């Protein structure tokens, strides 16, 4: 067990930070916050799943995906379809012209449940689909692109286009997906009302436990050989390829893994918030998830979760008090983080105990490229600069 | 398509093609600016759409000033406004390059994130200055109306003007890139930055000029945009994905590819939009491009220098 422990945490400080954070989320916040705020924290934490995926994908492997909202959305829509079918049993929907199908289908003159919706009557299938659907979609996209050695900037643009296509596609097929309003009015999970306070507490704790399980899994990946290969691919892709590793396969795998945990996050989002709509899967939310990760620290699993909490708290508080200032602040923070603290909050916290010199060095790093900097080596189409 | 006669279909195709030409002009101008910034310099400017919106707002502001203070100048202000849109955007572009981009050339993915932050700030600035409502400049009379070729077939004049404008800009840019000493320096810098610096090219200056030129062209795209739609704070962001796809599908370093792919994307969207309701035409077009790019990532005209 100690050996396994050492694989997860390299230093004692890391383990303490992890434990402290767990204590904060499991004990302190539930005691200190009213359920309304705690539910919000739970919602922010579901973005943490995406952020952990981005740490592996972007921070460690150098692939920036601007389409993670798609996978969050796929997982969320799977869950929402199941809950919606349960909420539209023939008794409660008796006033519809076709009882037993979701209300938005009835409004769109659809008289029969579409074939794709049928399997989502089963919970085991839904749970499986939450992981499999995003995972397979990501693997196909990743495999198609990484095999052609597409990466870096190009990959970011393509994934962003996919996010746009996905959001527009959901928006445009109202009868099938609920359209712009999304899938709303979700009530029960196998008869258990998810809107009550006790259910929200339960779901919050479920979310925290699953998030930490995923975080530990991510840390395990980072600290094993696979994690080191990921960093090697980020820094010198060609050398890893010449050493006999299947770079495309490893990238596609990690992209698919990140998509799966994003899907889990999406499902937990739906359970806690009670709806799913295209506004949470498009270009803007996908980039925002990257922002959370960048602010928290693209290299650190814990930092990424912290980034989700801090940015979202800031967003909620500022947009309540000064809605006009919020976008300035968010844009400004983002520029500052990218230019001066590329490793985010976690990078700053790690630097505090060391000498002042190193701190200054880090601030000045944006001036000159250092070959060891994690962000220097990215594959782009024209690598000749 | 069964319910249309062949003659109607022909008219629909011609009409939609002409409305596609306006979209083509905007996409082409957006794409040319991006092709300079992204294709040549490798910088992903997510705020490119906001530069376009800035150009559109400049035209709106000129129109507002003209109608308030010098109504007699009304028929001519548009030409001056286009020039002003170019200058304003180019100046802001130079400022952005100096303050932000030049520190990030070695981290292309981070330029994407930083310029996204910039686009948030610019959008909010537009909202504070011009309001959240969409605005439309008063276009001079000679741009309004349409030319009737035959019954059921009208060609809008503003569309023709915008098309002409974008053709002029394209030719000017290509001449500039391949016939001027700055174009030579820029192409040299793209191919080999260190060697260019060694033979005495001021690469930092080349970078700044190229970036502000790209932004200036985005400003002209904004001016062109005012003739086909109304401008809001987020107008630019609606075109940014299309513009990037134009550049990528054309082959990142190729200006000619940019023209071809802008034409294809605009025509496909505008013709499909007629037959498929709502956003489905756009979804279908984007889906085809993305799948095509997965199969052939180098685009239509791949650059000669292509490293991994």
B78–A contact, CB cutoff 8 A? no
Sort out which chain B residues have CB atoms less than 8 A from A383's CB and list them: 307-308
B113–A contact, CB cutoff 8 A? yes
Sort out which chain A residues have CB atoms less than 8 A from B306's CB and list them: 381-382
Confidence of residue A377 (pLDDT cuts 50, 70, 90): very low
B1, pLDDT greater than 70: no
Q: Give which of A327, A342, A347, A376 to mutate to test B binding, by max B Cβ within 10 Å.
A: A327
At residue B306, the pLDDT reads: 43
Which region among A291-295, B2-6, B265-269, B301-305 has the lowest average model confidence (pLDDT)? B301-305
Q: What is the value of pTM for the model shown? A: 0.87
- B239-243: long-range contacts (C-beta < 8 A, 24 or more apart)? B239/B26, B239/B27, B239/B30, B239/B49, B239/B52, B240/B46, B240/B48, B240/B49, B241/A160, B241/A161, B241/A164, B241/A283, B241/B286, B242/B27, B242/B30, B243/B27, B243/B30, B243/B31, B243/B34, B243/B48, B243/B49
B2–A contact, CB cutoff 8 A? no
Distance CA B100, CA B182 (A): 23
Nearest to B121 among A157, A327, A338 (CB): A327
B193–A contact, CB cutoff 8 A? yes
Confidence of residue A363 (pLDDT cuts 50, 70, 90): low
* Per-position b or e across B260-282, b if 16+ CB within 10 A of its CB: bbbbbbbbbbbbbbeeeeebbbb
Q: Are A75 and A134 in contact (CB under 8 A)?
A: yes
At residue A55, the pLDDT reads: 94
Confidence of residue A380 (pLDDT cuts 50, 70, 90): very low
At residue B303, the pLDDT reads: 61
- A242-247: long-range contacts (C-beta < 8 A, 24 or more apart)? A247/A146
At residue A362, the pLDDT reads: 56
Q: Are B266 and B242 in contact (CB under 8 A)?
A: no
Residues 35-64 in B contacting A (C-alpha not used; CB under 8 Å): 38-39, 42, 44
Nearest to B307 among A154, A376, A382 (CB): A382
At residue B278, the pLDDT reads: 66
Residue A173 domain-assigned (yes or no): yes
At residue A369, the pLDDT reads: 44
Radius of gyration of chain B (CA): 20
At residue A357, the pLDDT reads: 52
Q: Which of A138, A143, A157 is nearest to A248 (CA)?
A: A143
Average pLDDT over residues B227-254: 84
A93, pLDDT greater than 60: yes
At residue A379, the pLDDT reads: 41
Distance CA B234, CA B133 (A): 10
Judged by DSSP in three states, A189 sits in: strand
Residue A166 domain-assigned (yes or no): yes
Confidence of residue A73 (pLDDT cuts 50, 70, 90): very high
Average pLDDT over residues B217-229: 89
At residue A368, the pLDDT reads: 44
Q: Give which of B48, B49, B107, B296 to mutate to test A binding, by max A Cβ within 10 Å.
A: B107
* Residue of A174 and A145 predicted with greater confidence: A145
A385 and B193 within 8 Å at the Cβ level: the answer is yes
Which residue in chain A has the smallest CA separation from B39?
A: A382
A172 and B105 within 8 Å at the Cβ level: the answer is no
Residue A359 domain-assigned (yes or no): no
Nearest to B279 among A168, A287, A294 (CB): A168
Q: What is the pLDDT of residues B174-212, one digit of tens each?
A: 899 889 998 899 888 888 888 888 998 898 898 899 999
B108 and A152 within 8 Å at the Cβ level: the answer is yes
Q: Which residue range is the domain that position A112 belongs to?
A: 17-286
B4, pLDDT greater than 80: no
Residue found under tokens 């698919």: A256
Which residue in chain B has the smallest CA separation from A65?
A: B109
* Residue of B19 and A102 predicted with greater confidence: A102
Query: CB pairs below 8 Å between A and B: how many?
Result: 154
Q: What is the pLDDT of residues A146-159, one digit of tens each?
A: 988 887 788 888 99
Q: What is the pLDDT of residues A76-85, one digit of tens each?
A: 999 999 998 8
At residue B305, the pLDDT reads: 47
Residue A372 domain-assigned (yes or no): no
A32, pLDDT greater than 60: yes
Query: Which residues, 6 or more positions from A46, have their beta carbon under 8 angstroms from its beta carbon?
Result: A72, A207, A265, A266, A268, A269, A272
Confidence of residue A360 (pLDDT cuts 50, 70, 90): low
Distance CA A120, CA A80 (A): 9
At residue A255, the pLDDT reads: 95
Q: Which of B233, B212, B180, B174 is nearest to B49 (CA)?
A: B233
A375, pLDDT greater than 60: no
Residue A11 domain-assigned (yes or no): no
B286 and A164 within 8 Å at the Cβ level: the answer is yes
* Residue of B1 and A114 predicted with greater confidence: A114
Q: What is the pLDDT of residues B137-183, one digit of tens each?
A: 877 777 777 777 666 667 778 788 888 899 999 999 989 988 999 88
A375 and B290 within 8 Å at the Cβ level: the answer is no
* The token pair that represents A256 in the structure block: 């698919």
Residue A309 domain-assigned (yes or no): no
A165 and B295 within 8 Å at the Cβ level: the answer is no
Report the alpha-carbon angle A344-A279-A305, nearest 5.
25
B190 and A382 within 8 Å at the Cβ level: the answer is yes
B106 and A165 within 8 Å at the Cβ level: the answer is no
A242, pLDDT greater than 80: yes
Query: Which residues, 6 or more positions from B259, have their beta carbon under 8 angstroms from its beta carbon?
Result: B28, B170, B250
* The token pair that represents B150 in the structure block: 């035959």
CA distance B142 to chain A (A): 37
The mean pLDDT value of chain A amounts to 84
B283–A contact, CB cutoff 8 A? yes
At residue B3, the pLDDT reads: 67
At residue A361, the pLDDT reads: 57
Nearest to A338 among B114, B128, B277 (CB): B114
Which region among A94-103, A132-141, A208-217, A236-245 has the lowest average model confidence (pLDDT)? A94-103
Query: Which residues, 6 or more positions from A117, have their beta carbon under 8 angstroms from its beta carbon?
Result: A81, A85
B308 and A383 within 8 Å at the Cβ level: the answer is yes
Distance CA A288, CA A311 (A): 9
Sort out which chain A residues have CB atoms less than 8 A from B38's CB and list them: 153
Distance CA A305, CA A41 (A): 11
CA distance B197 to chain A (A): 11
How many domains in chain A?
1
Nearest to A381 among B114, B252, B279 (CB): B252
Measured in degrees and rounded to the nearest 5, phi and psi for residue A369 equal -70, 135
Nearest to A164 among B100, B113, B241 (CB): B241
């Amino acid at each position: 067990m100690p050996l396994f422990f050492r694989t997860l945490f390299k230093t004692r400080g890391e383990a303490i930070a992890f434990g402290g954070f767990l204590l904060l989320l499991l004990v302190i916040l539930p005691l200190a916050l009213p359920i309304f705020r705690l539910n919000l924290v739970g919602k922010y934490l579901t973005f943490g799943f995406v952020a952990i995926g981005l740490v592996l994908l972007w921070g460690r492997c150098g692939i920036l995906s601007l389409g993670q909202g798609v996978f969050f959305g796929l997982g969320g829509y799977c869950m929402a379809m199941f809950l919606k079918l349960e909420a539209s049993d023939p008794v409660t929907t008796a006033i519809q012209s076709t009882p037993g199908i979701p209300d938005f289908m009835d409004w769109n003159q659809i008289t029969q449940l579409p074939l794709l919706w049928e399997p989502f009557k089963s919970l085991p299938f839904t749970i499986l689909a939450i992981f499999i659907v995003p995972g397979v979609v990501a693997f196909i996209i990743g495999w198609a692109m990484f095999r052609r050695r597409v990466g870096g900037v190009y990959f970011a643009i393509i994934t962003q286009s996919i996010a746009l296509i996905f959001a527009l596609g959901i928006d445009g097929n109202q009868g099938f997906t609920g359209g712009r309003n999304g899938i709303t009015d979700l009530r029960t999970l196998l008869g258990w009302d998810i809107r009550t306070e006790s259910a929200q507490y339960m779901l919050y704790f479920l979310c925290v436990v699953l998030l930490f399980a995923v975080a530990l899994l991510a840390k395990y990946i980072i600290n094993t050989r696979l994690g080191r290969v990921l960093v090697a691919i980020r820094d010198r892709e060609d050398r890893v390829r010449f050493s006999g590793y299947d770079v495309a396969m490893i990238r596609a795998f990690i992209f698919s893994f990140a998509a799966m945990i994003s899907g889990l996050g999406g499902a937990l989002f739906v359970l806690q918030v009670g709806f799913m709509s295209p506004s949470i899967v498009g270009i803007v939310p996908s980039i925002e998830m990257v922002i959370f990760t960048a602010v928290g620290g693209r290299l650190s699993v814990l930092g990424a979760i912290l980034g989700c909490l801090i940015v979202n708290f800031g967003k909620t508080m500022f947009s309540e008090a000064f809605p006009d200032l919020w976008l300035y602040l968010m844009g400004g923070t983002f520029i500052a983080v990218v230019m001066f603290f590329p490793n985010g909050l976690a990078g700053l916290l790690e630097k505090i105990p060391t000498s002042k010199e190193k701190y200054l060095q880090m601030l000045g790093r944006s001036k000159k490229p250092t070959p060891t900097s994690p962000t220097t080596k990215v594959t782009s189409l024209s690598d000749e600069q | 398509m069964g319910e249309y006669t062949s003659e109607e279909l022909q008219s629909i195709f011609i009409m939609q093609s002409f409305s596609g030409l306006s979209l083509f002009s905007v996409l082409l101008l957006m794409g040319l600016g991006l092709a300079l910034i992204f294709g040549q310099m490798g910088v992903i400017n997510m705020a490119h759409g906001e530069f376009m919106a800035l150009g559109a707002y400049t035209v709106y502001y000129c129109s507002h000033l003209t109608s308030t203070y010098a109504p007699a100048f009304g028929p001519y202000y548009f030409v001056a406004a286009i020039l002003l849109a170019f200058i304003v955007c180019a100046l802001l572009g130079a400022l952005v390059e100096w303050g932000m981009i030049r520190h990030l050339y070695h981290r292309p993915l981070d330029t994407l994130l930083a310029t996204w932050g910039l686009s948030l700030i610019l959008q909010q600035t537009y909202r504070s200055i011009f309001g959240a409502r969409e605005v439309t400049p008063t276009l001079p009379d000679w741009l309004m109306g349409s030319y009737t070729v035959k019954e059921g077939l009208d060609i809008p004049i503003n569309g023709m003007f915008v098309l002409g404008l974008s053709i002029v800009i394209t030719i000017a840019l290509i001449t500039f890139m391949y016939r001027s000493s700055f174009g030579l320096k820029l192409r040299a810098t793209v191919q080999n930055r260190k060697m260019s610096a060694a033979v005495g090219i001021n690469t930092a200056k080349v970078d700044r000029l190229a970036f502000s030129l790209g932004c200036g062209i985005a400003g002209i795209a904004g001016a062109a945009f005012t003739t086909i739609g109304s401008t809001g704070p987020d107008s630019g962001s609606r075109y940014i994905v299309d513009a990037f796809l134009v550049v990528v599908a054309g082959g990142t370093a190729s200006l000619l590819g940019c023209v071809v792919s802008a034409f294809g994307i605009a025509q496909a969207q505008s013709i499909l939009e007629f037959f498929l309701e709502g956003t489905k035409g756009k979804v279908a077009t984007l889906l085809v491009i993305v799948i095509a790019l997965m199969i052939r990532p180098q685009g239509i005209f791949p650059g000669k220098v292509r490293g991994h």
